[in-house]
Amino acid sequence: SVSSNGKEKEPHLNSLWRSKQLEYTFRRATMNQYLPMSCCTRDALDYSCNVFKAQVSESEKDALCSAYRSLPCFPDCRQGLSLLKNEGHRIFAFSNGTRDDICSLLSKSELQELFDGVVVVDDMEKPTFKPDPRVYEYFLNETEACLEQTWLISSNSFDIIGAGECGWNTMWMHRDPKTVFDTWSDGHKPTGVAKSMNEISDMLRNV
């Protein structure tokens, strides 16, 4: 996180950083001006520091952006993924990030053995970002997955809606009760809602 000349500004700066990071991916996808997620992350950090007049050095910004490669996983991830694996599900990391970044995250969390593979937009012939429908089609082609049996598990409303529009089943991770799902009059609602990864195996068994 970033401190911006006063602790009271810190959560607001961090929130702006995340929202701008997503906004920049959406804008680049719309304009067909792809750059890796790490570039969007850095640009969003620069913008947020300017807004809050935060005194953050270039080396400190480098360290903050590098932290995205080693974020801790939620405590329930290992057990929840293991339950899914034991049920015979194939599990893939599916991300707007780069392969190196996602593999770094999985390695840091010691979860890589639970995944069957990694699918990232950066490997596309003409990369773009979710929720572009081409990204979801790319996943199905890369994994040779059946559309009707494919589930997206995500805490991001935009990803759930994007996958739903492409015909996927979706599971929204609703860990924080204060989080509200995006309200779109014609948008897809999630197929299911889970508060913990440990719930998902039973939920899929009962579909």
Q: From residue 10, how far is each of 6, 18, 25, 195 by CA, in Å?
A: 7, 13, 23, 27
pLDDT for 4: 45
Beta carbons of 158 and 149 less than 8 angstroms apart: no
Per-residue pLDDT at 8: 55
Give the per-residue pLDDT at 6.
46
- pLDDT tens across 85-94, in order? 999 999 999 9
| 3 state DSSP class of 152 | strand
Residues of the chain with pLDDT under 70: 1-9
pLDDT at site 183:
82
pLDDT tens per residue, range 24-54? 999 999 999 999 999 999 999 999 999 999 9
The closest alpha carbon to 175, from 26, 73, 22, belongs to 73
Q: What pLDDT was estimated at residue 1?
A: 53
Q: List the Cα angle 202/179/50 in 5-degree steps.
A: 135
- Lookup: tokens for 17: 């950083």
pTM: 0.92
Cβ(84)–Cβ(200) below 8 Å: yes
Token code pair at residue 22? 């997503």
The DSSP secondary structure of 176-206, one letter per residue, reads STT------TTSPPPSEEESSGGGHHHHHHT
How much is the pLDDT for 20? 98
Q: Which pairing describes strands 151-154 and 169-173: parallel, antiparallel, or unpaired?
A: parallel
